């Protein structure tokens, strides 16, 4: 009897905490939106950033943060926030529209000289989150396994061969997609230049020669780290080392 | 793996096919009559409907029993009740040569890289009334018509034979002509393709003429290999029924010359081109005497078709290629409204009314006519008019030939809808072209049109004849661009917690299914191995079987079945015997105690105390069973221990 009472108490307490937290989040979000509507973009940015720290998986916060940054003239921060929103809600049309719009206003661009299939693959994977790709893979894999097991019981009665083969092909394909997506998000990480005049050096120190100068808002791919420096790669085939305080990773830091 | 691949192929094919079906062109062939008399003209029209693009005239191959003549093309683009339709017509005249019922086989047409085919048509030819056509075309007439589509010499001639015809009244006196640039083996017959100019501007007409020179009784039978004229817009000249021929002298020899084919070529862009004229087919009746020195006895019956029963010989004639240079338009004085029209044109315009109400349509008809490539003419550009809505309503054109020049008329209809009342003016419209004969640009202008527009309170709606046409609707355009507004609600769908939960559930299911399959696989493998090796199966399962039986025995004893010691030791003996036979793969049925003792002695050795214990266990079993002597609880426990120890020790022995 005592145990049952304790469990009920725990459940109620958990639900209450959850509701209280949800209420607080919703309130803060609406407050930030109110500041935005009132044209107080700097204050809205502070509140959106605070919310993003607490709820890093909510793409809407990053989207609104991007809008507030754009209205404040912070192009790099705006693009970073839109990229983070896109990372979480990759098929959101508003996010894609705003990102394209702000990117169109940049002074510089980096030509994409990669092979067409890499560009296509990146674009395709950009429409799904890592979890969605993994979910697809697990679903197809489970379906394939279940079908295989069914053939063990219905081997004589039904012809399952080509269905299993199709499912296996799809499972392998989705597995490959997941692998590629994992590399895209965890191995070659996207980052945005957040300062006006960023420099790419030939080595990880200020004493190394400057190879390139980048404008705010441009995208780089981080492939290595050393102390406070990151080795980056650009889509035009160039690369070098950048100070960490000049770039910010696109992938939101989850708790 | 093939089936999914085929499925994907089928789906892709279906999608592609459905897409192409939506905008497919249609092709139809019609005769103006399906019953006619010999020598009575029948008009064949091949229509290509709903196709926007360039369509070349189809090659109508020889139709047995008919003479065929191409008479030109016409195209139409029409908007009726808001629906647009376009068509290109190719017209032919068929002249039946014999009676009977004939089938006009499907005709192949290429449009936009796709092949189309017309339906077959039946036509019945009755005998001529009193052969009036024969009198028009007597056997000895000097007139000559090209039997273009005869495919082989075994066919009957398509027109009445005209033999031994002298040089005709319309032929010019013998001239001296150039010989073939590539000399054939037999220089008594050759073909030349020539152009009227080798230096031209884009879209300027170049006349390509195929001439046949022969000293034989010859019949021209059409193209064996079509000419290659890529880079040119091509119009085929309709050939006259009576093609004039003339006597000419080439290198001192007398030939009969006939221009058998003419094309108008319009180059599409400046470049150097080489036209490969293809090959012509002709059949001759070779007469050795005519190759002799008695050229003055030469007669020109060769275009006549000759004797019906005469043996004829096919020849392939290959004219040499032609080089052309197409130069760019001069930049000097080039009008802004010039978009590539070349030739010599006239422009006129008219409107269907000058007094109308606000939002009421008025149609302006623009007519451009003259010599040049009419088909490619563009409508004069209409400026963005304040106070008017403008729509393209109709465009059609008709080609005609003046001598060796292609010309025609193109009509554009433009709908203007005044949006304001008062005196409204449609400004002058401008059309520019380049006239290659004087090497200058020319600009034509329509007159300004003044409209008296009365005020109307009716709300504007697109006129019914335009309203249903999606092509006429104007696109909504973005005036300025900005970012989209903030998102004011947090979406619940696809929340990360839900995704994580689904991932966990699916992960557990997948792991479970994988383990199940692995176990199933291992079980199958084990069964397979055991089915091949029974000894291994018995050895492997000996311990588990013995332990299972022993457990059952202990359980029985625990239930309090104490009075049955005989049964207990009987079971102990059976378990031990079963275990030993399984372990050493001995026959259970034929085995004796002696055999077992011998085997154990062999394995353990006679001095081994455990061997002695096993023997004593067998003794207890015997005593209990045969002597019915009471066995203490302690002895039963010891028997159990000995059995377990036996299994344990023997399991270690391989």
Task: Read off the pLDDT of residues B219-230 as tens digits, 9 standing for 90 and up.
Answer: 887 888 888 877
> If you search the block for the tokens 């200058």, which residue do you land on?
B440
- Do B457 and B541 have their domain in common? no
Average confidence (pLDDT) over B518-524: 90
Q: Which of A44, A89, A105, A131 to mutate to test the interface with B (most CBs of B within 10 A)?
A: A131
- A178–chain B nearest CA distance, Å: 13
**Closest Cβ–Cβ partner in B483, B496, B510 for A101:** B483
Residues of A in contact with B484 (CB under 8 A): 94, 97-98
Among candidate residues B307, B328, B349, the one where a domain is terminated: B328
pLDDT in tens, B278-310: 888 888 876 544 443 333 333 444 444 444 455
Q: Which of B491, B494, B510 sits opposite A138 (nearest CB)?
A: B510
**Mean pLDDT over the full length of chain B:** 75
Residues B115 and B210 in one domain: no
Average pLDDT over chain A, rounded to whole? Answer: 87
Task: Give me the helices (H) in B584-626, please.
Answer: 593-604, 609-622
- Band of pLDDT at residue A7, cut at 50, 70 and 90: low
Q: The tokens 């003429």 sit on which residue? A: B209
3-state class (DSSP) for residue B8 = helix
Chain B residues inside the 8 Å CB shell of A26: 490
Lowest mean pLDDT across A18-27, B270-279, B509-518: A18-27
Q: Do A142 and B483 touch (CB under 8 A)?
A: no
Find the chain A residues whose C-beta atoms sit closer than 8 A to any C-beta of B. 25-26, 29-30, 33, 36, 57-58, 60, 63-64, 66-68, 70, 89, 94, 97-98, 101-102, 129, 131-132, 134-135, 138-139, 141-142, 145-146, 148-149, 152, 162, 165-166, 169
Structure tokens at A86: 């896109």
Q: In CATH, what number is assigned to the domain containing residue A194? A: 2.30.30.40
DSSP code, position B489: S
Does residue A8 lie in a domain region? no
Nearest-CA distance A254 → chain B (Å): 11
The domain total for chain B is: 4
Lowest mean pLDDT among A233-237, B41-45, B563-567: B563-567
Nearest-10 Cα torsion for B278, B283, B288, B293 = -50
The answer to whether residue B90 is domain-embedded is yes
Across the interface, whether the CB atoms of A135 and B484 are under 8 A apart is answered no
* pLDDT for residue A94 is more than 90: yes
pLDDT reported for residue A6:
63
Do A97 and A145 sit in the same domain of this protein?
A: no
The answer to whether the beta carbons of residues B243 and B168 sit under 8 Å apart is: no
pLDDT at B519 over 90: yes
Q: Helices A161-182 and B2-22 meet at what angle, rounded to 10? A: 80
Q: In chain A, what residues touch B478 (CB-CB under 8 Å)? A: none
Residue A94 resides in a domain:
yes
pLDDT score of A226 more than 70:
yes
* Range in A95-109, A177-191, B170-184, B547-561 with the lowest mean pLDDT: B170-184
Q: Inform me whether the pLDDT recorded for B43 exceeds 50.
A: yes
Q: Identify the H or E element spanning B510.
A: helix B496-532
Residue B72, CA distances (Å) to A147, B44, B64, B92, B406 in order: 66, 11, 22, 7, 10
Place of tokens 């917690």: B497
- pLDDT tens track for A48-70: 999 999 988 889 999 999 999 99
- The answer to whether residue B558 neighbours chain A at the CB level (below 8 Å) is no
B510 touches chain A (CB under 8 A): yes
| CA–CA min distance A243, chain B (Å) | 30
Place of tokens 């000895």: B140
Does B523 lie at the interface with A, CB-CB under 8 angstroms? no
Give yes or no for a contact between A215 and A193, defined as CB atoms under 8 angstroms apart.
yes
Q: Is B480 on the interface with A (CB under 8 A)?
A: no
CA distances from B120 to B31, B59, B64 (A): 11, 15, 14
DSSP A26-63: HHHHHHHHHHHHTT-HHHHHHHHHHHHHH-TT-HHHHH
Query: What tens digit of pLDDT does each residue of B390-417 get?
Result: 887 778 888 887 778 888 899 998 888 8
For the stretch B54-79, pLDDT in tens is 676 777 766 778 877 666 666 655 44
Of residues B350 and B139, more confidently modeled = B350
In a domain? residue A180: yes
**Does residue B435 register a pLDDT over 90?**
yes
Residues B10-40 have pLDDT tens digits of 554 444 443 443 346 788 888 888 888 887 7
Q: Which tens digits make up the pLDDT trace of B303-345?
A: 444 444 556 788 888 888 899 999 999 998 899 889 889 999 9
Is B229 inside any structural domain? yes
Shared domain check, A193 and A144: no
In this complex, the residue of B4, B506, B516 whose CB is nearest that of residue A135 is B506
Is residue A40 one of the residues assigned to a domain?
yes
Burial of residue B331, with CB atoms counted within 10 A of its CB: 0-12 exposed, 13-18 middle, 19 or more buried: exposed
Q: A99 CA to chain B: closest CA distance, Å?
A: 8
pLDDT of residue B492: 65
A183 domain-assigned: yes
pLDDT for position A135: 93
Q: What is the CATH number of the domain that holds B109?
A: 2.60.40
In a domain? residue B235 = yes
Q: How far is B385 from chain A (nearest CA, A)?
A: 32
Query: What is the DSSP secondary-structure string of A115-163?
Result: -HHHHHHHHHHTTS-HHHHHHHHHHHHHHHHHHHHHHHHHTTT---HHH
CA B513 to chain centre: 46
| Residues 6 or more apart in contact with residue A6 via CB below 8 angstroms | none
A107 burial via Cβ count (<10 Å: 0-12, 13-18, 19+) = exposed
Do both B440 and B547 map to the same domain?
Answer: no
pTM of the predicted structure, to 2 decimals: 0.48
Pairs of residues, one from chain A and one from chain B, whose beta carbons lie less than 8 Å apart: 79
Token digits of residue B423: 């005196």
Q: Using CA of residue B489, residue B491, residue B495, residue B496, what is the dihedral sign?
A: negative
List phi, psi (to 5°) of A81: -65, -40
Do A82 and A35 lie in a common domain?
yes
- Do residue B184 and residue B317 come from a single domain? yes
Model confidence at B204: pLDDT above 60: yes
B72: tokens are 């030109």
Query: Containing domain of residue B265, as a range?
Result: 138-328
The pLDDT assigned to A120 comes to: 93
Distance CA B646, CA B653 (A): 11
CB nearest to A131's CB, from B491, B503, B516 = B503
**What gap in Å lies between CA B619 and CA B578, rounded to an integer?**
17
| pLDDT score for A190 | 93
| pLDDT tens, residue by residue, B158-188 | 222 222 333 333 333 344 455 444 445 678 8
Residues A78, A124, single domain; the answer is no
A67–B485 C-beta distance less than 8 A: yes
Exposure b/e, B492-517, CB count within 10 A at least 16 = b: eeeebeebeeeeeebeebbeebeeee
Q: Which of B486, B494, B496 sits opposite A36 (nearest CB)?
A: B486
CA distance between the termini of chain A: 37
Express each pLDDT in B238-249 by its tens digit: 666 667 788 888
> What pLDDT is attached to residue B563?
58
Q: Does the distance separating the beta carbons of B507 and A131 come in below 8 Å? A: no
**How confident is the model over B94-148, as pLDDT tens digits?**
878 888 888 888 888 877 667 788 888 888 888 875 433 333 333 333 332 333 3
Q: Rounded to whole angstroms, how far apart are CA atoms A175 and B151?
A: 62
Sheet holding A247-249: strands in order across? Answer: A210-215, A197-201, A239-243, A229-233, A219-226, A189-193, A247-249
**Is B467 in the same domain as B583?**
no
Taking residue B631's Cβ as centre, other Cβ atoms within 10 Å add up to 18
In this predicted structure, what is the pLDDT of residue B427? 92
In the predicted structure, residue B368 carries a pLDDT above the cut 90:
yes
Asked if A121 and A195 sit in the same domain, the reply is: no
CA distance A193 to A249: 9
Q: What pLDDT, on the 0 to 100 scale, is given for residue B2?
A: 45
CA–CA dist B492, A87 (Å, integer): 17
Q: How do residues A134-162 score in pLDDT, each as one tens digit?
A: 999 999 999 998 888 888 777 654 556 77
Nearest to A67 among B3, B483, B509 (CB): B483
Rounded to whole angstroms, the Cα distance separating B295 from B187 reads 14
Question: Looking at residue B221, what is its pLDDT?
Answer: 79
- Give percent of chain B with pLDDT exceeding 90: 15
| Distance (Å, whole) CA B51 – CA B44 | 20
Backbone angles phi, psi at B248, to 5 degrees: -135, 155
Q: Which of B483, B494, B516 to mutate to test the interface with A (most CBs of A within 10 A)?
A: B483
Q: How far is A192 from chain B (nearest CA, A)?
A: 19
Task: Return the structure tokens found at B156.
Answer: 């009957």
Structure tokens at B458: 């009716």
B3 vs A contacts (CB less than 8 Å): 162, 165-166
pLDDT tier at A133 (50, 70, 90 boundaries)? very high
Contact B483 A64 (CB under 8 A): no
Alpha-carbon distance B526 to nearest alpha carbon in chain A (angstroms): 17
Which pLDDT belongs to residue A16?
Answer: 55
> Would A97 be classed as within a structural domain?
yes
pLDDT above 70 for B603: yes
Tell me which chain A residues have a C-beta less than 8 angstroms from the C-beta of B517. 145, 148-149
B148 and B123: one domain? no
0.95 surpassed by complex ipTM = no
**Does B482 reach chain A within 8 Å, measured CB to CB?**
yes
- Whether residues A172 and A195 share a domain: the answer is no
Q: End-to-end distance of chain B based on CA atoms, in angstroms?
A: 47
Same domain, B300 and B389: no
Decide if pLDDT at B553 tops 50.
Answer: yes
Does any domain span residue A58?
yes
Residues 6+ apart with CB under 8 A from B437: B344
B480 → chain A, closest CA residue: A101
Residues A201, A135, single domain; the answer is: no
Residue B227's nearest CA partner among B213, B208, B199 is B208
Q: Flag if B1 and A142 touch (Cβ within 8 Å).
A: no
**pLDDT the model gives residue B147:** 31
- Domain with A146, as residue range(s), is 116-187
Q: Which of A223, A228, A217 is nearest to A239 (CA)?
A: A223
Q: CA nearest B220: which of B238, B200, B243, B198?
A: B243
Nearest chain B CA: its distance from A172 CA (Å) = 13
Q: H or E segment at A78?
A: helix A75-88
Contacts of B566 (CB under 8 A, 6+ apart): B624, B625, B628
The answer on A228 and A166 residing in a single domain is no
Q: For residues B425 and B354, what is the distance between their CA atoms, to the nearest angstrom?
A: 10
- Give the total number of structural domains in chain A: 3
Same structural domain, B40 and B56:
yes
Q: Which residues of A touch B506 (CB under 8 A)?
A: 135, 138-139, 142
């Amino acid at each position: 009897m005592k145990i049952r009472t304790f469990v009920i108490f725990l459940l109620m307490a958990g639900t209450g905490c959850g509701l209280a937290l949800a209420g607080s989040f919703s309130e803060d979000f609406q407050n930030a939106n109110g500041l935005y509507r009132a044209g107080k973009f700097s204050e809205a940015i502070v509140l959106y950033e605070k919310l993003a720290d607490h709820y890093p998986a909510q793409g809407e916060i990053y989207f609104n943060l991007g809008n507030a940054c754009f209205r404040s003239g912070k192009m790099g921060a705006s693009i970073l926030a839109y990229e983070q929103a896109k990372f979480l809600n990759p098929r959101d049309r508003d996010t894609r529209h705003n990102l394209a719009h702000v990117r169109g206003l940049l002074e510089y661009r980096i030509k994409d000289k990669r092979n067409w299939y890499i560009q296509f693959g990146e674009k395709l994977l950009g429409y799904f989150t890592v979890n969605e790709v993994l979910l697809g893979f697990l679903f197809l894999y489970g379906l394939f396994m279940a079908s295989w097991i069914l053939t063990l019981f219905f081997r004589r009665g039904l012809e399952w061969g080509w269905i299993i083969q199709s499912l296996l092909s799809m499972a392998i394909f989705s597995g490959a997609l997941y692998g590629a997506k994992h590399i895209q998000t965890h191995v070659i990480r996207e980052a945005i230049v957040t300062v006006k005049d960023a420099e790419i050096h030939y080595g990880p120190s200020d004493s190394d020669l400057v190879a390139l100068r980048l404008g705010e808002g441009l995208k780089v791919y981080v492939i290595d780290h050393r102390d406070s420096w990151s080795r980056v790669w650009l889509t035009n085939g160039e690369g070098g080392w950048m100070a960490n305080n000049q770039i910010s990773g696109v992938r939101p830091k989850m708790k | 793996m093939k089936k999914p691949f085929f499925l994907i192929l089928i789906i892709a094919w279906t999608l592609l096919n459905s897409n192409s079906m939506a905008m497919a062109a249609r092709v139809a062939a019609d005769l103006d009559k399906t019953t006619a008399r010999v020598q009575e003209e029948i008009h064949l029209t091949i229509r290509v409907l709903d196709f926007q693009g360039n369509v070349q005239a189809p090659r109508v191959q020889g139709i047995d029993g008919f003479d065929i003549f191409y008479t030109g093309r016409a195209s139409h683009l029409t908007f009726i009740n808001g629906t647009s339709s376009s068509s290109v017509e190719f017209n032919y005249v068929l002249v039946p040569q014999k009676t009977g019922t004939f089938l006009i086989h499907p005709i192949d047409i290429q449009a936009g890289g796709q092949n189309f085919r017309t339906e077959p048509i039946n036509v019945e030819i009755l005998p001529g009334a009193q052969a009036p056509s024969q009198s028009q075309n007597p056997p000895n007439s000097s007139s000559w018509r090209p039997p273009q589509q005869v495919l082989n010499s075994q066919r009957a001639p398509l027109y009445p034979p005209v033999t031994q015809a002298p040089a005709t009244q319309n032929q010019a006196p013998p001239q001296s002509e150039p010989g073939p640039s590539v000399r054939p083996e037999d220089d008594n017959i050759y073909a030349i393709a020539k152009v009227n100019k080798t230096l031209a501007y884009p879209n300027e007409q170049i006349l390509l003429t195929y001439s046949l020179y022969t000293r034989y009784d010859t019949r021209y039978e059409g193209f064996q290999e079509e000419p290659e004229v890529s880079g040119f817009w091509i119009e085929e000249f309709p050939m006259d029924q009576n093609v004039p021929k003339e006597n000419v002298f080439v290198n001192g020899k007398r030939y009969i010359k006939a221009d058998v084919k003419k094309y108008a070529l319009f180059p599409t862009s400046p470049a150097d081109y080489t036209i490969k004229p293809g090959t012509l087919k002709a059949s001759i009746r070779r007469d050795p005497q005519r190759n002799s020195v008695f050229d003055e006895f030469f007669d020109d019956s060769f275009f006549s078709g000759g004797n019906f029963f005469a043996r004829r010989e096919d020849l392939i004639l290959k004219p040499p290629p032609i080089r052309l240079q197409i130069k760019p338009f001069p930049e000097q004085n080039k009008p802004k409204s010039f978009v590539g029209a070349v030739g010599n044109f006239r422009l006129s315009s008219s409107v269907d009314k000058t007094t109308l109400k606000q939002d009421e349509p008025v149609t302006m008809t623009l007519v451009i006519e003259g010599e040049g490539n009419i088909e490619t003419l563009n409508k004069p550009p209409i400026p963005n008019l304040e106070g008017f809505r403008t729509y393209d309503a109709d465009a059609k054109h008709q080609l005609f030939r003046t001598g060796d020049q292609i010309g025609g008329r193109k009509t554009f209809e433009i709908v203007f809808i005044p949006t304001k009342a008062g005196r409204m003016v449609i400004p002058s419209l401008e059309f520019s072209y380049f006239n290659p004969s004087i090497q200058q640009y020319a600009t034509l202008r329509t007159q300004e049109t003044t409209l008296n527009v009365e005020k109307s309170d009716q709300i504007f709606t697109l006129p019914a004849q335009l309203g249903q046409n999606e092509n006429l609707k104007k696109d909504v355009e973005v005036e300025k661009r900005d970012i989209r507004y903030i998102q004011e609600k947090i979406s619940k769908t696809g929340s990360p917690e839900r995704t994580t939960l689904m991932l966990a559930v699916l992960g557990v299911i997948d792991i479970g299914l994988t383990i199940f399959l692995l176990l199933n696989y291992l079980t199958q493998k084990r069964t397979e191995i055991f089915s091949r090796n029974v000894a291994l199966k018995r050895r492997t399962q000996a311990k588990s079987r013995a332990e299972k039986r022993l457990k059952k025995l202990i359980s029985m004893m625990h239930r309090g079945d104490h009075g049955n010691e005989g049964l207990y030791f009987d079971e102990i003996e059976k378990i031990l015997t079963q275990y030993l036979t399984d372990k050493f793969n001995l026959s259970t049925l034929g085995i004796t105690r002696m055999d077992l003792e011998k085997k154990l002695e062999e394995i353990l050795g006679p001095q081994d105390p455990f061997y002695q214990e096993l023997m004593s266990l067998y003794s207890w079993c015997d005593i209990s069973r045969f002597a019915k002597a009471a066995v203490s609880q302690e002895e039963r426990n010891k028997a159990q221990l000995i059995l377990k120890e036996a299994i344990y020790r023997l399991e270690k022995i391989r």
